[in-house]
Amino acid sequence: MNVDARPGDTPADQPDPRHDAPAEEYVPPKPKRDRTHWLYIAVIVAVIAGVVVGLVAPETGKSLGWLGTTFVGLIKMMIAPVIFCTIVLGIGSVRKAATVGKVGGLAFAYFLVMSTVALGIGLVVGNVISPGTGLDISSTSGEGAKLADTAHEAGGTIEFIQGIIPTSLVSALTDGSVLQALFVALLVGFAIQALGRTGDPILRTVSYLQKLVFKILTMVLWVAPIGAFGAIANVVGQTGWAAVGQLATLMLAFYLTCLVFVFGVLGAMLRVIAGVSIFRLVRYLAREYLLIFATSSSESALPRLIAKLEHLGVQKTTVGVVVPTGYSFNLDGTAIYLTMASLFIADAMGDPLSVGEQIGLLAFMIIASKGAAGVSGAGLATLAAGLQAHRPEMLDGVGVIVGIDRFMSEARAVTNFSGNAVATLLVGSWTKTMDKDRIDEVLSGRDPFDESNMVDDDPHPITSAEPEKLPAGR
């Protein structure tokens, strides 16, 4: 017997009940349940209910248009902070990418070119099919018409340029002018970039602000079913089955455009430049595509994409630069959506965009679309920003789009994801930082990806009191 033992001590030859669970049996806490699928279901139910009300009781449907207008007002409230945060952080990402030299420079140039190509394709398809032609949703203009009157009072080109400069840095985020918010965001972003490491704390602060803004935006999106119900009921009440057919045409055209872009444009580039088949790459990333369809977000597959591309034979440095930066700057699906949706609203309002307005919209979207992948609603806010900047009277048409926005979100996310996977292989080919023989071996199935190495939840999370120690291969 141990005479030095004190009450509560446990003999050495007996297991301590306080530590009787082996470390390997540790069960991590359950992740927070994702309830966004309920929002998806609610939007579908709201759209169906809106169609029924609009067909059965047209007058009642017309009287519900204010619900869609109110929801658009909530989205409008988020435009300036979303644009500001995403642009500032986007420019910060360019600075970080540039520090790795050739890989970062090539990646950024590629993102800029492909975003422009995607926007251009959206404009071409939108002009060819003109999905909103024949609808009449001009009576939903409401607050948008007031914005148009205010915009037209601005005057000519000189007044327009002067109007871009806000009264103060803060007023750009409170006055509701998208171009002023964009101008200030660019100034702040480049100023932070010029500060170098000194600007990192400011960049982190903006990233926290972005999280707050996106959280508020997520909360706003829970009202989307009500807005969608009112907007769809109003449009169907005015035009009948024509509205249903035109909305379905837009969705079908968007899905087909995304397919052509991925397997045609991206597939051809991947085959010619890297010598890789897009079909084999898609099959290799099949599980990630299923995950994206389940969550309507390409970010859910980000860790797995990084792991799989490294297993595929692309150097870690290239993957580490191209993929995260691409998630903010290479949003091909979102770019196609923004231009097609804008043309749809313009046609449905009975006042199509002129060629000059379309070019101006394209230039605006090239900048404003950066970072729109953070939250599904960010794309909706960017769409509203583009319309407000160019044709404010059409802003309330966003209320119609929100009814089918969720139906198109999967195609956007999958296209964005495919674009970043292809971009990584292309940059790897240009910089000779990928192993072509290994890529052929992996895609042929001779060296499959080991799913057991892809663990989403760390059973021993690092706390703030511990230094971060990661295995070399992590």
Domain boundaries, the chain: 35-447
Nearest to 411 by CA among 331, 348, 328: 331
Rounded to an integer, the average pLDDT of 278-289 is: 91
Nearest to 214 by CA among 80, 378, 382: 378
State the burial class of residue 229 (Cβ atoms within 10 Å of its Cβ: 0-12, 13-18, 19+): buried
Give the Å distances, CA to CA, from 31 to 49, 456, 457: 34, 10, 8
Is the pLDDT at 205 greater than 70? The verdict is yes
**Each residue of 263-301: b (16+ CB within 10 Å) or e?**
eebbbebbeeebebebebbbebbeebbebbeebbbbbbb
**Each residue of 68-98: b (16+ CB within 10 Å) or e?**
bbbbbebbbebbbbbbbbbbbbbbbbbbebe
Is the pLDDT at 139 greater than 60? The verdict is no
Rounded to an integer, the average pLDDT of 216-226 is: 83
Q: 293-348: per-residue pLDDT in tens?
A: 766 667 767 778 888 998 999 988 788 778 877 877 788 888 888 888 888 888 88
Gap between the Cα atoms of 39 and 46, Å rounded: 10
Is the pLDDT at 5 greater than 70? The verdict is no
Of 332-346, 369-383, 426-440, the poorest mean pLDDT is in 369-383
Is the pLDDT at 45 greater than 60? The verdict is yes
* Higher pLDDT pick, 97 / 367: 367
Place 472 in a pLDDT band, splitting at 50, 70 and 90.
very low
The helix (H) or strand (E) run that includes residue 333 is helix 332-348
Is the pLDDT at 160 greater than 90? The verdict is no
Place 150 in a pLDDT band, splitting at 50, 70 and 90.
very low
What's the topology of domain 35-447? Proton glutamate symport protein (1.10.3860)
User: Does pTM top 0.85 for this prediction?
Assistant: no
